Amino acid sequence: MRAVVYDSYGPAEVLRLEEVERPVPKDDEVLIKVHASTVNRTDTDLRSAEYFISRFFTGLVRPRRKLRITGTELSGEVEAAGVAVTEFKAGDRVFGVSAKTAGAHAEFVCLPESAPLAHMPSGVSFEEAAAVPDGVILALSYLRRVDLRKGKTILIYGASGSIGTAAVQLSRHFDADVTAVSDTKHVELVASLGADRVIDHTKDDFTKSGELYDVIFDAVGKLSFKRVKGSLKPGGIYGSTDLGPYNQNPFLALWTKWIGDKKLLFPIPRYTKKDVLFLKELVEAGKYRAVIDRSYPLEDVVEANRYVETGQKTGNVVLTVSPERGTGPV
C-alpha cells in the first residue's frame, strides 16, 4: 500500500511516499481503508520536532518505527474487523484519530476498537469527517477545564484556524459570550461560526480596548500571559495551545496556580472515543461544521505540509487518500 513515511526529523522534504506492507488487524482491531486525512499542527510539529520535548514521545534521535507513517486524523471504511470486535463491521464508514501510532497518511491503517473512533456522522463527506476531530478535541481539552457556560465571556485569538474555528463553535454550543480575533479576510467566516463579535487584529489591539474577559484562549500560540493578563477579569484564566519556549506556558501554569488570582492553564489533551462520539452528535445536530481551506492528493503531502507551516491556513487542510469511491455526502 502507499504511505507517507519519514526516517528523520526535519522540514517537509523529509517526507516521501513509499510502498509499505499493508497492516493486519489484531483480534481487537479494525482495518480501515482511509479515504481522507488532514495535515494539522500536530503532524507538522511531530515531524519537525521543533520543540525537543516532543521527542520524548516520538523518539529522541529519530522517529520510532511505529510512528514512521505520518497522519493522525482520518475517515474511511472498515475493510475488516478482528474476531473480538463488536462495534464495527466491514463496510462501516468511520472517522477518528490515530493518536498513539499516527499512520493515517496511508491507504490502510489498523486501530483498536477502543480507539478514538466512531461511525461517521450522517450527511457529511469523507473530507468533512476527517477535518473534524483534532481541532475540536484540542479546543475541548481547554474549554471543559475552564467550565465555560452561559454568563461567561471568552476571547478566542486565532479564531480562523483548525483549533480556533472549533473553539468558536464549541463556545457557542456552551452558550458563552464569544469574542473572536482574526485578520480582515476571516472576519465574516468567524462571525458565521457563531462569534458575538469579531475583532480584526490588523486594525485593533484587544489588549488596549479596556474590555475584560473570564477566559482568553490563544488557539495559535502567539500571545504571552504577560500581554493578556490585563485583559482578564479577577479570577480569569488564560490558555494557549503552544508548547514552545516563547510562552513558557508549562512553567507559568505551575507558577500561577499558587501566585495571583489570574491563572494560566496548560491542559494536556486526551483523545477519547467519548469525545469523538460527542463530535458526531454535534455535527448531526447541525451545531458544528468543519472548515476546509484546501485539499491535496496524498502524493502532494510535502506541499500540504509547507502550506500548513506558513501559519496562514483557514480551518483545515485535507489529504485525499483514496478518492476514487465514496467521497460524496453520506
Mean pLDDT of the chain: 90
Assessment of whether the complete model's pTM goes beyond 0.75: yes
pLDDT at 256: 56
pLDDT tens sequence across 186-235: 999 999 999 999 999 999 999 999 999 999 999 988 888 889 999 999 99
Give the containing element (helix H, strand E) for 169.
Answer: helix 162-173
- Give the domain CATH number at 100: 3.90.180.10
Tell me, yes or no, whether 102 and 219 share the same domain. no
C-alpha–C-alpha distance, residues 306 and 44, integer Å: 9
C-alpha–C-alpha distance, residues 47 and 143, integer Å: 27
Tell me, yes or no, whether 120 and 27 share the same domain. yes
Q: Which residues pair with 82 in a beta bridge?
A: none
Which of 59-68, 122-131, 162-171, 201-210 is the least confident region?
59-68
Contacts of 136 (CB under 8 A, 6+ apart): 166, 170, 275, 279, 288
> How is residue 267 written as a grid cell?
491542559
Q: How confident is the model at residue 118 (pLDDT cuts 50, 70, 90)?
A: very high
- Residue 25's φ and ψ, nearest 5 degrees, are -70, 140
pLDDT at 244: 47
pLDDT at 222: 86
pLDDT tens sequence across 316-330: 999 999 864 434 443
The whole domain housing 247 covers: 146-265
C-alpha–C-alpha distance, residues 273 and 34, integer Å: 18
> How is residue 117 written as a grid cell?
473512533
Tell me, yes or no, whether 301 and 245 share the same domain. no
C-alpha–C-alpha distance, residues 180 and 312, integer Å: 17
DSSP for 173-192?
HTT-EEEEEE-GGGHHHHHH
Question: What's the residue count for the chain?
Answer: 330
pLDDT tens sequence across 1-28: 999 999 999 999 999 999 999 999 999 9
Tell me, yes or no, whether 249 and 295 share the same domain. no
pLDDT at 255: 52
